Amino acid sequence: MHLVERFADWAVSFRAQPLPEEVVHHARRAVIDWHAALYPGLVVPPVTLMKKAFAGETESPRLKALIEGSAAHTVEVDDIFRDGIYHPGAPTIAAARALGEALRPVVVGYEISTRIGAAMGKAQYKQWHNTGTIGAFGAAAAAAEALQLDRRQFAHALATVTTFAAGLQQAFRMDSMSKPLHAGRAAEAGVTAALMAREGVTGSLDVMVGFAAAMGDNPDWERWLATLGRDFHITRMTFKNHACCGHTFAAIDGALEVKRRLNVDAADIDKVEVATYRAGLEVAHYENPGTPAEGRFSLKYVVATALTHGSVRLAAFEPERLADRKTKALMERISLRLDPELEAAFPAKRAARVAIEAKGRREEWLQPTRIGDPDAPLSDRALEEKYFELTASVLGEAKAKDILQRLWRLE
């Protein structure tokens, strides 16, 4: 069988099996985290502008997926599958939600797409934005499951969406609104492919050969297929603890730990040295951010604002914070470099070495993982606190609480 047929065969056969309780719990966590990312993203550009652009259209599942997928990736707080360098929730859950509200399509979308993402991995991430490319598979699989497509239809949905997979990293190497659109477009593409497959539209079942050749480097499909249905990736998601690029998290966590150990104020810091892996330097590259998008992708800024203000949440990207003189002054005392050892461990490990000099003292720290990663996970309580922090200002506390209680009961 072709690869898309093997995924389809598993998904349809899996319908006869109950979801393990652990998987149900982690799927609910993923959906809660997705809602935490969704609501603040719905009230800022580009989504507010997208709503104007499509104001005259009837809200279809495709449009719903496009808008909500974009919103869930806008403020950079959505989940991560570390091995795939990929944000699965934004496109996958948006597609599933556009066609209903159940956990099984979410699980199926995560399990198929994360395996494609892990196999393509680092090679694809050189130029492509994996959330746009791999996200299309998560969305298509979730939509196909929500529509209860048969084996043939499911395989053709995956085959068709492969040709829709896109999203260039160059789109966010300067200030733009393109990055969240990649997640939204992936969600829309997945819903579109599944709806068409239901009606008989076919794709090239061997299309993954071309996908791997164009975007990858001899991916090892068998390694990741071997555990399908037994080792559930959805139980090992990274949930973000900071509202910025995930490549900066280890540096933020490490800097806060060193500051705690030194017991100094930001004004006392003479020098900060950060060493990390290549993607952390190349993706979060802005030296003098002036917009929220640039700030979220500035390693120097997020480390400096964490040291100055104690956290990197949504308030860190308000105009007054971006212009904060103390933060800007500290940024000038931060130096960055590539660490070959940490680069070799990427993407399985996201680490940073941080050294701070203050008041004649120097403290160094290796942050081996990010707070929120599978090996340092956010508790259910911490996840709820993140949810309320991000949603209450948009929904009000009562409605936010009501939605949270409903999400913990999803079947």
Residue 273 bridge partners (DSSP): 335, 355
Question: Strand, helix or coil at 311?
Answer: coil
Question: Strand, helix or coil at 70?
Answer: helix
pLDDT in the model for residue 262: 97
Percent of the chain with pLDDT strictly greater than 90: 97
d(CA 123, CA 174): 22
Whether residue 301 has pLDDT greater than 90: yes
Q: Which residues contact 186 (CB under 8 A, 6 or more apart)?
A: 69, 91, 131, 132, 133, 135, 136, 138, 139, 165, 167
Bridge pairing between strands 352-358 and 269-276 = antiparallel
- The pLDDT of 141-154, averaged and rounded, is 98
Q: How many CB atoms lie within 10 A of CB 319?
A: 10
- The pLDDT of 342-368, averaged and rounded, is 96
Whether residue 350 has pLDDT greater than 90: yes
d(CA 130, CA 216): 11
Q: pLDDT band for position 121 (50/70/90)?
A: confident
- The pLDDT of 227-234, averaged and rounded, is 97
- The pLDDT of 135-159, averaged and rounded, is 98
246, containing H or E segment: none
CA dihedral 337, 343, 348, 354 (to 10 degrees): -30
Burial class (CB in 10 A: 0-12, 13-18, 19+), 88: buried
Question: Strand, helix or coil at 38?
Answer: helix
Question: Strand, helix or coil at 206?
Answer: coil
146 neighbors 102 (Cβ within 8 angstroms)? yes
pLDDT in the model for residue 56: 87
Q: pLDDT band for position 173 (50/70/90)?
A: confident
Amino acid at position 234, single letter: I
**What domains does the chain contain, in order, with CATH numbers?**
3-236 (1.10.4100.10), 246-367 (3.30.1330.120)
- The pLDDT of 377-390, averaged and rounded, is 96
- Report pLDDT digits (tens) over 305-336: 999 999 999 999 999 999 999 999 999 999 99
d(CA 303, CA 311): 9
137 neighbors 161 (Cβ within 8 angstroms)? yes
pLDDT in the model for residue 58: 81
Mean pLDDT of the chain: 96
133 neighbors 91 (Cβ within 8 angstroms)? no
Token code pair at residue 173: 């190497």
- Report pLDDT digits (tens) over 19-58: 999 999 999 999 999 999 999 999 999 999 999 999 988 8
Q: Which residues contact 282 (CB under 8 A, 6 or more apart)?
A: none
Question: Strand, helix or coil at 352?
Answer: strand
- The pLDDT of 100-116, averaged and rounded, is 96
Least confident segment among 36-45, 79-88, 170-179: 170-179
Least confident segment among 68-72, 75-79, 172-176, 200-204: 172-176
Q: How many CB atoms lie within 10 A of CB 166?
A: 16
- The pLDDT of 240-247, averaged and rounded, is 96
- Model's pTM, two decimal places? 0.94
Residue 362 bridge partners (DSSP): 357
Residue that has been written with the tokens 């050969």 in this structure: 209
Cis peptide upstream of residue 347 (ω within 30 degrees of 0): yes
Whether residue 258 has pLDDT greater than 90: yes
pLDDT in the model for residue 101: 85
270, containing H or E segment: strand 269-276
- The pLDDT of 370-396, averaged and rounded, is 96
